[in-house]
Structure 1
Amino acid sequence: MAAVRSAAFGCCVLSTVAGLVRIFWPENGFKPVINAVLALYIITAAVQIIRVADWAGIAAELAPASDSSSVSDSEVGAYRRTLTDEAAAQALRDVLAASGIEAAIARTDTGWQVTLVHAADGQKAEALLAANCGTIPYEITAGGTAP
């Protein structure tokens, strides 16, 4: 490592001298040499940084961020159930709306509560839900006073 540092220091001194030559003597034929010395210095410095870097420490800092999650499994499960319920409610709304039935859908502890806007749509809604819900429990109630 001492050899790399010595080489880097030598390149630094050479690049300083080359920079001074460029500043005070801009019309010279040493531009390719000066550029080569500067490129070697940059390469040497990059190699030293790569070699000296504490890769194990960097990996140790990044590992907890990727391994541990700030969200618990129960929160993920609850969110999954919420998304599933929203999708199921929207599917029920779409099935009923496709047949011209207006209804409000709500999740209950025992299944789905379908509240019809028009009480006259009860038999039609029952037939649609029986055909589309499978084993999902639901309850149909008549809503407001709309005929």
Structure 2
Amino acid sequence: MAALRSAAFGCCVLSTVAGLVRVFWPENGFKPVINAVLALYIITAGMQIVRGTNWADLAAQLAPSAGSAAASEAEIDAYRQTLTDQAAAQALRDVLSASGMDAAVSRTDTGWRVTLVHAADRARAEALLAANCGAIPYEISIGGAP
């Protein structure tokens, strides 16, 4: 294979010389020869790459292990839950803000905690959350006190 590659490289050098001749002598017929030699060199280089590759090692590196797939699935589920919680908290903030209430929204073990800035907004917030949250559990607090 090395001899064939060296021969192809030699032909490439010769075709380069022929290309230089073509620049100074445009009416020659070297173009098909140059293209054929370059194609031959590309094919031999490709054959050497394919032949010299350790396919079993490459496949082992690319194949995911069974343990990493389970961990990845758990990470994906945790990330999905985080995104869902962030979107829900932002939706609650938007509903309260659209009604003119300042509030912080956070996730708890049992549902959502809505902390209102002004105590006077509690009745409106309860009515608004009852109408918009459905079965989602929530608790309302004022400045940290339930």
Taking the aligned partners of 1:21 and 1:91, their CA distance within structure 2 comes to 72
SS at structure 2 position matched to 1:64? coil
Give how far 1:85 is off. 1.7
Q: 1:17 to 1:96 in 2, by over 3 A?
A: closer
Give how far 1:87 is off. 1.3
Give how far 1:77 is off. 2.9
Number of the residue aligned with 2:40: 41
Q: Does the 8 Å contact 1:113/1:141 carry over to 2?
A: yes
Give how far 1:116 is off. 1.2
Taking structure 1 as the reference length, what is the TM-score of the superposition?
A: 0.68
Q: Does the 8 Å contact 2:4/2:44 carry over to 1?
A: no
SS at structure 1 position matched to 2:63? helix
Number of the residue aligned with 2:106: 106
SS at structure 1 position matched to 2:101? coil
CA RMSD of aligned residues (A): 3.5
Taking the aligned partners of 1:22 and 1:116, their CA distance within structure 2 comes to 81
Taking structure 2 as the reference length, what is the TM-score of the superposition?
A: 0.68
Q: 1:53 to 1:100 in 2, by over 3 A?
A: same
Number of the residue aligned with 1:32: 31
Q: 1:52 to 1:118 in 2, by over 3 A?
A: same
Q: Does the 8 Å contact 1:11/1:40 carry over to 2?
A: no
Q: Does the 8 Å contact 1:8/1:41 carry over to 2?
A: no
Q: Does the 8 Å contact 2:19/2:34 carry over to 1?
A: no
Number of the residue aligned with 2:87: 87
Residue type matched to 2:102 in 1?
E
Give how far 1:86 is off. 1.4
Give how far 1:51 is off. 4.7
Give how far 1:83 is off. 1.9
* 1:1-147 equivalent positions in 2, closer than 5 A: 8-17=5-14, 29=28, 31-32=30-31, 34-36=33-35, 38-49=37-48, 51-54=50-53, 55-64=55-64, 68-69=68-69, 71-143=71-143
Q: 1:119 to 1:36 in 2, by over 3 A?
A: closer
Gaps of 5+ in 2: none
Deviates more, 1:72-81 or 1:120-129: 72-81
Aligned length: 139
More strand by share: 1
Deviates more, 1:133-142 or 1:41-50: 41-50
Taking the aligned partners of 1:116 and 1:14, their CA distance within structure 2 comes to 82
Q: Does the 8 Å contact 1:102/1:116 carry over to 2?
A: yes
